[in-house]
Amino acid sequence: MNEQIQQQHKYNTEEEVFNEIIPGYQLTIDKILKTGVTLFPNNEIVYWPPNGRRLHFAFSEFNERVNRLGWVLKELDVASGDPRRMGTRVAIFDWNTHRFLELLYAVPMYGAVLQPVNIRLAPEEIIYVMNKSRDEVAFVNADFLPLIKAIAPKLEHLRKIVVMHDGEEPIKIERIGNAEVYDYEELMKEAREFNYPEELDERTVMVMMYTSGTTGLPKATIFRHREIVLHAIAVLIIAVWNWYPAHYLRFTRNAYNPLGEPSLLLVPFYHVLGWGAPYYNIMGGTPKIVLPGRYEWNHIIRLIKEEKVKNAAGVPTMLYLMLNSPELKDVDLRGFLWSLGGAAVTKGLIEEARKRGVILTNGYGLTETAPVVIAPALSPDLVMSLSEEELQELVVNSIGKPLPFVQARVVDEEGRDVPKDGKTVGELVLRAPWITLGYYGDPEKTRAAFKDVWFHTGDLATWDERGFIYIVDRAKDVIKSGGEWISSLKLESLISLHPAVAEVAVIGATHEKWGERPVAIVVLRPEFEDRVKEEDIINHVRAFVDEGVIPKWWVPDKVIFVDELPKTGAAKIDKKVLRDRYRDVLIKR
């Protein structure tokens, strides 16, 4: 039979036959959208911005807009790429809007490269990332036009700007710098049906994402279609089969999947593609996806109430804002699932959530890992065998176990596995099919991050005999005092239990004798301002020494009260700024 096929088609080898007759199935972003539209055509996407009108689209209608957007990209002379060369780099400056969501599909389906710009970066950092990426086209929310006008003269490759806004009248600007200016919705009105490339290669680069730059200039990570599709599949597997149902079984005695509940997409799409939520929510058939537009917490609270949201994700700061919102004080939050990530959660915040009936789950990832690689792996048997306190401790203190297809180890400086005793600290290293290909234009940092094929996270961790992994601290955040390590995360968690503390960050400050000593920077709750002094916080920490929770040399040398803590674009506390500001606070002048 094989010989007949070869003779008929004049192929020389069996390998040529199979390459030609049985082409490989490509894991590309269009497959995610087609799955969602085919299985859940009537599911809903709601975009309701502050001071704006509520828009809603069925998945099928959203698909039609994505198809027309392909025509717009063609008219803008956007070039498609392949495995050997990247397509046109397309920058996006936007809040979480339906237009941003459309671009997250259309640009990679066209074969071009997404470059979601972190709008919280400093202008000089934005200039740096756009020039490094060689962005030629930018889709810009009108809120950011002043920023674009200011930096446009320094953008070396930008040739076209498309303005996005919720107004009725089109934007009447012809040029900004050297770039021609267009109106998004006007282009969409003129757009025709567009046929995207049917067999785009899964090895085509689809997105460049920059790290937050907390240790220097942002680094560019690159991902192909294959990586992002596999990430979405793995998150859905753990969510639908194991992760969420087990939580609900324990806390509500009803093992259903909250992907079947309205979900509010709070994580900015510019931050690691909103943790992948724009893809796995559509593929998984979330019945209502709610997009808030510009971040105004009073409006977000309104969305939670009026859209009956039961599922959200975000960094601990976002959870704190929700729990402390006066508008939600009397709202029943029991059964609301909040997926934490991006930063460590304190015990004080855990307790606040528990009192309101909010179900917390944790996870772990980095920009370089697309991002989720570790999450709670909880079987119903395990969940039901634990007390509420034990389960809470496991879910929030542990980041969980590796997702499907992920390999994780905790290793010493020689690359050997540390004991699975929950005590011995090592570095967390990873392998996964969706980890970045490397840092674009930076081979030295790529080689430093990937040693013996393992990606080195820079996070210090322990693991136990069950395989659960616990983050101890970031290698750059751990405080090295007299040759011993002090975990800033653990100190922050303990300090947060003081009723007066709203937020806290602990850093290492230079010390003449010990090298570094811990300093706590604290934001007080409004009702405690001018009532709590430094010694109150110090005595609070000393109580944990008396209980044997921490050694006495962990007690901070100083407590500094501030009105607010600096945040990164991902709403994480920016310890780099704090270290620069308070590094020498213990040095005697």
Domain boundaries, the chain: 58-218, 226-474, 479-582
What's the pTM? 0.84
The catalytically annotated residue of 64, 485, 529, 553 is 485
Which among 542, 567, 5 is positioned nearest to 321, based on CA atoms?
A: 567
CB of 221 closer than 8 Å to CB of 446: no
Q: Percent of the chain, pLDDT > 90?
A: 64
| Per-residue confidence (pLDDT) for residue 87, from 0 to 100 | 98
Q: How far is CA 517 from CA 342, 410, 496, 553, in A?
A: 25, 26, 19, 9
| Per-residue confidence (pLDDT) for residue 334, from 0 to 100 | 86
Average pLDDT, the chain: 89
Instruction: Respond yes or no: is residue 74 known to be catalytic.
Output: no
CATH architecture of residue range(s) 58-218: 3-Layer(aba) Sandwich (3.40)
| Per-residue confidence (pLDDT) for residue 17, from 0 to 100 | 53
Q: Tokens 């050694």 sit at which residue? A: 551
The catalytically annotated residue of 305, 308, 480, 552 is 480
Please tell me the CATH code under which domain 479-582 is placed: 3.30.300.30
Quote the CA–CA distance of 44 and 42 in Å, as a whole number: 6
Q: Domain spanning 226-474: which CATH class is it, in words?
A: alpha beta
Instruction: Respond yes or no: is residue 547 known to be catalytic.
Output: no
The catalytically annotated residue of 28, 88, 97, 211 is 211
Q: How many angstroms from the chain centroid is the CA of residue 518?
A: 29
* pLDDT tens-digit series, residues 297-336: 889 999 999 999 999 999 887 898 889 888 888 888 988 8
pLDDT value at 9 more than 50: no
pLDDT value at 531 more than 60: yes
* pLDDT tens-digit series, residues 22-56: 568 999 999 999 999 999 999 999 999 998 999 99
Fold match, 58-218 / 479-582: no
Instruction: Respond yes or no: is residue 186 known to be catalytic.
Output: no
- What single DSSP character describes residue 442? -
pLDDT value at 100 more than 90: yes
The catalytically annotated residue of 125, 227, 307, 368 is 368
**In sequence order, which ranges of 159-276 are alpha helices (DSSP H)?**
184-190, 225-238, 244-252, 272-275
| Per-residue confidence (pLDDT) for residue 515, from 0 to 100 | 82
Instruction: Respond yes or no: is residue 567 known to be catalytic.
Output: no
Quote the CA–CA distance of 288 and 263 in Å, as a whole number: 6
Quote the CA–CA distance of 296 and 209 in Å, as a whole number: 25
